[in-house]
């Protein structure tokens, strides 16, 4: 006979997790409906993420500049993520670490200048 009492803490954990996640999802919606905060109008229902209304087939092609700007943002976001640990450990890594980071930043600046010259940042 298998002793299933060892699985009771896991089942309790899953029940609590399911209950809390359901409460965090559905409770704000219920409170919004009960307090009158849910009053949709055309302005609230309009498109706000991409900046233009959807008027064509959703499978239509986007301008490549959306993707270029997103890639540039990711590149410079990663640069910022590398700069913090580098600056914290600069006293331990010495001049070799400083020179390596300057080469890295120089390469990123070259990439930015190249993208700028190619017109990747220009909106028409």
pTM, 2 dp: 0.45
Q: CATH no. for residue 18?
A: 1.20.58
Q: What single string gives the DSSP state of each residue in 64-86?
A: HHHHHHHHHHHHHHHHHHHHHHH
Q: What is the pLDDT of residues 16-53, one digit of tens each?
A: 999 999 999 999 888 888 887 667 777 767 766 665 66
Query: How many distinct structural domains can be found in the chain?
Result: 1
Reading phi first (left if > 0) and then psi (alpha if -120 to 50, else beta), residue 2 is in: beta
Position of tokens 């009960």?
A: 34
Q: Provide the residue range defining the domain that includes 23.
A: 4-52+60-118
**85: in domain:** yes
Confidence of residue 121 (pLDDT cuts 50, 70, 90): confident
For a pLDDT cut of 70, what percent of the chain falls above it? 81
Q: What is the pLDDT of residues 4-22, one digit of tens each?
A: 888 999 999 999 999 999 9
Confidence of residue 67 (pLDDT cuts 50, 70, 90): confident
**18: in domain:** yes
**123: in domain:** no
Q: What angle do CA 35, 36, 38 make, to 5 degrees?
A: 120
**113: in domain:** yes
Nearest to 79 by CA among 99, 97, 106: 106
């Amino acid at each position: 006979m298998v002793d299933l009492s060892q699985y009771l803490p896991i089942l309790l954990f899953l029940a609590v997790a399911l209950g809390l996640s359901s409460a965090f999802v559905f409770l704000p919606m219920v409170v919004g409906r009960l307090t009158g905060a849910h009053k949709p109008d055309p302005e609230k229902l309009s498109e706000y993420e991409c900046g233009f209304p959807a008027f064509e087939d959703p499978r239509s092609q986007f301008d490549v500049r959306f993707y270029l700007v997103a890639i540039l943002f990711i590149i410079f976001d990663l640069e910022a993520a590398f700069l913090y640990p580098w600056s914290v450990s600069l006293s331990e890594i010495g001049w070799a670490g400083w020179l390596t980071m300057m080469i890295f930043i120089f390469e990123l600046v070259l990439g930015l200048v190249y993208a700028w010259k190619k017109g990747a940042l220009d909106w028409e």
